Structure formats: structure tokens, C-alpha cells
Amino acid sequence: MSKGPLLDENVRNKITQLEYKDLSGKEDKIRMIYKKETGKELPEFKIYSSKDMEIGKKSGFDGAAIHFYDKKNKINQIYYIFRGTEPAKDFGDVVYDALGIGAGKKNNQIQDAKEMYDRIEKKIEKSDLKVDRYGDGHSLGGNLIVTLGLITKNFKDIRGLNDAPVNVKQLMKIDAQFGKYVFAKSGGIKDIPPKDVVNLANVYYKKQKATISHTWVKGEPMHAQSFPNSWYAGNKVTMLGDLDTEEMINIGKYPFQKEAKWNPVYMIDQFRYNLGVKTILGGLGFANDHVKQETLLDLPNKSEQYLEHIKKYPFLHLGEIKAGVALGAAGGVNLLTSPGGFSQVYKGISQRDQAKLHGINYVVKYTEANAMKTYYQVFDSGSQEEILLDYEQMKKFVYYCANVIKDKEANLNALKQYLHSEINEVFEAKKKKLKMKISREEASPQSFMEKADKDGATLAWFGQKRVAEKVTFDKTFDPLDDSVFTPVEEIISSIQEEVTYYQKFLEAFFQNFEKMMEADESVASDIKSMKEVVGGI
């Protein structure tokens, strides 16, 4: 039986962070990280680095692998760790690379990642003990490790940290089998709609998705971007940090889509915005410390250099109002008059500082502080889109509903009690009281006669007197009329309908919930046991 992963997420995050300084020769540091986290010693391991293997010189790929092998203790685990673009690089470059907008560079890196994988796997090939593979990647590295996991289909789990989505159309070229699958399913048509490719990917990579998860710091720029063909493969998303932080603006998405549906002004604006985005696809960035303010403010006098910079990183200038004009020049969108463009610029300025949340250090920090919340990425059949499901909240919802429904049933029973017993009890009690009164009267016929038949009693004429000898009351009691019960019966029947409605509602909820979460085995079984508990509440 293979053990669980040796390294937990905190250790893995920290090693990913360390990878930016290259893992070659850092055995001691790694041991220290592990000891600090667990108090234990790491078993023997070997580090492989792309630099040592002379991989990635031209593509910029940078990754490492740590292999643990201990035959006696049945340990055979390998962790592939890919970092992102050089952090000292322009942030615009970071996002550009990671989003795969410059597909060639990214595809080259994936090819190198594959080379590293194939060579290492051959080296560590052992017949006696099956190897468990784990992967971690930050930013562009996250994109690479996810892609590698999809292609090789034999990782136990993969974690993308502030990672960028996969481009499904590029994936068709990178994973030949997936490419063939899409080709066959689409009948070889030239322009397959991106949504169709994403749907095919969700089917084709169903198993692999269950092993992939994403960890994002709330408010960091990468995951908020939605470009055509982008796809986050994976079932789980963990949000870190301050969950009240607003998400970064989505450059890929026109902000007034709702209005654009019916308002011609917005329609045209959206068209131009999207056109601008297409042109601007050559670069994406956010206000960056590297680019000095002065360079941007002095617009009219600017040199070729500046205009080149704008063309290369048009969105880098998004954080500056003046850039509206520059951006307009580069992308054909006049941000000063475009409501969509201006809204993004305005927001972009207020969010400049959030861009730093992209860094690996924030992933490390918030994971350690346990400031996190896990969501499941599931397919919402209604909207035909992937959504993030807050599983914990869903659970709370279910238990809450189930308990309340049980309360309602209890109330219904109280009403039934009232109908079947209490009414009669009250009636019998009144009857009993009345019978007593009757007895009392019957015991004193004279006084009764005097109060009941005053005239008769004094009818005595000619001095006659009347004396009561006996008084008898009719002691037959009719049962309560139906009209007493019927209204209550109707109320009960109506409430019973409500109970049935809510029970059916809960049933339907479970059905849909189970379907949505079926990809994740542990969740699926959790839901099953929830059903049993709820059924018995």
C-alpha cells in the first residue's frame, strides 16, 4: 500500500517558493522546511533541476523534481515543481506568458517540461514499487504542470498556484491524443467554437480533472481574466487571503455586457472594446513599478520607444488615466469616450496594488495562516458554465433545511394531535363540567324551579304553592358536528402538501448536487452519508 503524500501543502508551497532560487544543492534548506513544518526528518531524496539537465535555455522553462525512494518503507514519490516567469521581469510579461497569449513561448516551455519528465521518469523507473506523482506550479509554472498532468494522465494530484488557465485550442496541438479526439468528435471542421472544445475537454479529461486543484489568492489578477479558449481544468479551487478583496478587473470581458444586450451605444462600445482587446492580446499587464510615471505622463512628446512599449504592453498603461489616449492609439479604442474602456481603466487604477497578490509569497503566507476557503469547480447544467461551488455552505444549507423540515413535520403532528385528540378532550372536559352542573341542579329541584320556572313557581293562585319534586335534564349529548373538524382537516392537508413540497425539494436538491459533484469521489461519498443522516434526522 502506498502512503499518502509526504509533503503537505505548506511544505509544497514553500518549496515552490524556494524553486525561484533554484533547488539545485538546496537539500538542507528543504530538510529544514520539512522539519519546521512536521518536526520530522525527511527520508532520502534526490533533486533534479532543469538547469542541471540543460533544459529550458531557449524557452525559459525552469523546473525541478524531488524524488523520494525508500524501498523498505514503501516510499516512491516524486514531486514536480515548476515556477513561473522570472519575478524580476516586467509584470506585464509575467501575465502575458502565463496566459499563454504568446502561445509559442509557452508551448515551447511545455515541450521542455515534457522532456524533463520523460528523462526523469526513465531514470527513476523501478519495477518493484509504483511511483506516486505530485505536481505544483506557480503562475506560468502552474499552467505547465496542469498541462503536463493532462498529457501524461498519471499524477496523483496537481496544484496550480495563482495559475493561468489552459488554452484548450493550444492543448489540441500539445496533446496529440486530445487533438485527435477533438478532430474525430468535431468531424474535422476548421473553426470549432471554443465552448465546444471546452466541453470536449471536460469529457476527455474527466479523470485527470479530479486530481487537479487550483489555489488562488483572492484579488490576484490571473484567475480573474477570461480569454476565449481559456479553461481551468480541475475540480477544486481554494481561495486564500482576505475573501472580501474584490476580484481584479477582467480585461478579457467587456464590463457592460448586460447593457450591451439592448442598448446600441453599449453594443458598439462592446464591439470596439473586444476588437481592442484582440489587438491588445499582444500584451497584458497592470500598473507596474518598473514603468516610471514620467514616461507615461509626457504623452505628445513621446518617442518611438514609448510607442513601442505601448504596442508591446498596452495594458501596462491601463493603470494610468493618460494612457487612455495611448491605449486608444494602440487598440483603436478611445478610452476617454468609451464607457467600457474607461470603466476598466478607472477600476484598474484603484486595483493597482492588488497585482502583487499574484506572488508566490502570498500563497505561502495565507496557506500558513490558514486563511482559506475551498470551492469545487463544477459544471452548472443550467447556465452551461463552470461555477465555483461553496461546498461547506451547501452542506450547511442542506442540514439547515433538513432540520427545519423536520420541525415542520413535528408541528404538523401537533396539529394532527389537536384534531384527533385535543378537540375531543376539550369537548369532553366541557361536557364533564356541564354534567356536574346538571347534577347539582337535579339535586336541588326547588331552587332550580325557582330560577328556571319563575312564572310557574309563582303561578300558584289562590294561595296555592308549588313545590318541585324532581327535575330531570336531557342527558343525551350529540357528538361534535363535522363542521368543527373539517376546517382543521383542511389546514392539515394543506400543510402536509407543503411538507411534501419541501421534502421533494430536498430530494431534487440531492439528485442535482450528487450529479454535480460526482467527479470527486470523496465528496460524492460525503454527500451519500449526508443523505443518510438527513433521512434520519
Partner 1 sequence: MKKRTKTIIAVIAGAAILIGGIWMINESRYPNVPAFDDHFTREFLNKDKKVDDGFYEFKSKTGQYTMWFPEDFAIANDDGQGYSNNEQSYEDWRALSNKKERGENLIGQLNLKFFERSTKDEAVFVEATFKRRFHVNEPHIIETKNKKIYYDSAYTYFKGTEEKVIKNKSNYISNTYVGYVVDKHSNKTIETSYDFIGDKLSKSNGEKINEDFLKMLKSIRFAGNINYE
Partner 2 sequence: MFDLDFTHTGTTRGKYTFEFDGDDFKDEQAKRIKELIKKDQEVNEKLWHAKSYLENQTGEFADAVKSKLEVAERGYTLRAQQYDTGAFQHIMSFMHSVKDMHKREYEIRYKESMDESELT
Least Å distance, CB 416 to partner 2, is: 10
Least Å distance, CB 408 to partner 2, is: 5
Give the number of other CB atoms < 10 A from CB of residue 254.
23
Among partner 1, partner 2, none, what does residue 148 contact (CB within 5–8 Å per kind)?
A: none
Residue 82 or 204 with smaller CB distance to partner 1: 204
3-class SS of residue 137: strand
Q: Is the separation of the CB atoms in 35 and 90 below 8 Å?
A: no
Residue numbers 203-232 binding partner 1 by CB under 8 A: 203-204, 206, 228-229
257 binds partner 2 (CB under 8 A): no
Least Å distance, CB 527 to partner 2, is: 14
Residue 37 or 453 with smaller CB distance to partner 2: 453
Cα 79 from Cα 145, distance rounded (Å) = 11
Q: Is the separation of the CB atoms in 157 and 213 below 8 Å?
A: yes
Residue 86 or 490 with smaller CB distance to partner 2: 490
Residue of 369, 347, 295, 289 whose CA lies nearest to 326: 295
Cα 476 from Cα 15, distance rounded (Å) = 92
3-class SS of residue 171: helix
Cα 478 from Cα 129, distance rounded (Å) = 87
Backbone angles phi, psi at 92, to 5 degrees: -60, -45
470 binds partner 2 (CB under 8 A): yes
Residue 275 or 443 with smaller CB distance to partner 1: 275
3-class SS of residue 54: coil
Residue indicated by cell numbers 469547480: 377
Cα 279 from Cα 332, distance rounded (Å) = 8
What value, to the nearest 5°, has the Cα angle with vertex 280 and ends 275 and 282? 135
Residue 188 or 382 with smaller CB distance to partner 1: 188
Residue numbers 108-127 binding partner 1 by CB under 8 A: 108, 111, 114-115, 118-119, 121-122
349, with CB counted inside 10 A (0-12, 13-18, 19+), is middle
329 binds partner 2 (CB under 8 A): no
Least Å distance, CB 99 to partner 1, is: 14
Among partner 1, partner 2, none, what does residue 336 contact (CB within 5–8 Å per kind)?
A: none
Q: What nine digits make up the cell of 13?
A: 508551497
Residues whose CB falls within 8 Å of the CB of residue 132, separated by 6 or more in sequence, listed in order: 2, 5, 76, 77, 78, 156
* Residues comprising the chain, all counted: 537
Backbone angles phi, psi at 75, to 5 degrees: -110, 120
- Judged by CB under 8 A, the stretch of 82-90, 97-105, 334-342, 418-426 that binds partner 1 is 97-105
The CA-based dihedral angle spanning residues 149, 150, 151, 152, taken in that order and rounded to the nearest 10 degrees = 40
396 binds partner 2 (CB under 8 A): yes
Cα 204 from Cα 276, distance rounded (Å) = 33
Residue 169 or 214 with smaller CB distance to partner 1: 169
Residue indicated by cell numbers 442598448: 263
510 binds partner 2 (CB under 8 A): no
Among partner 2, partner 1, none, what does residue 401 contact (CB within 5–8 Å per kind)?
A: partner 2
Q: Looking at the DSSP assignment, which residues form a beta bridge with residue 133?
A: 78
- Judged by CB under 8 A, the stretch of 103-111, 366-374, 482-490, 517-525 that binds partner 1 is 103-111
426 binds partner 2 (CB under 8 A): yes
3-class SS of residue 22: coil
Residue numbers 174-203 binding partner 1 by CB under 8 A: 174, 176-177, 179-181, 183-185, 187-188, 190-191, 203
Residue 489 or 521 with smaller CB distance to partner 2: 489
- Judged by CB under 8 A, the stretch of 65-73, 162-170, 250-258, 477-485 that binds partner 2 is 477-485
Letters for 440-459 (x = contact with partner 2 by CB under 8 A, - = none) are -x---x--xx--xx--x---
Residue numbers 21-60 binding partner 1 by CB under 8 A: 53-55, 58-59
Least Å distance, CB 211 to partner 1, is: 15
The CB-side HSE value for 151 (13 A sphere, CA atoms) comes to: 24
Q: Which of 65, 146, 389, 527 binds partner 2 (CB under 8 A)?
A: 389
Among partner 2, partner 1, none, what does residue 119 contact (CB within 5–8 Å per kind)?
A: partner 1
Q: Which of 12, 105, 223, 272 binds partner 1 (CB under 8 A)?
A: 105
Residue 10 or 170 with smaller CB distance to partner 1: 170
Residues lying near partner 1 in the complex (CB under 8 A) are found at 53-55, 58-59, 103-105, 107-108, 111, 114-115, 118-119, 121-122, 167, 169-170, 172-174, 176-177, 179-181, 183-185, 187-188, 190-191, 203-204, 206, 228-229
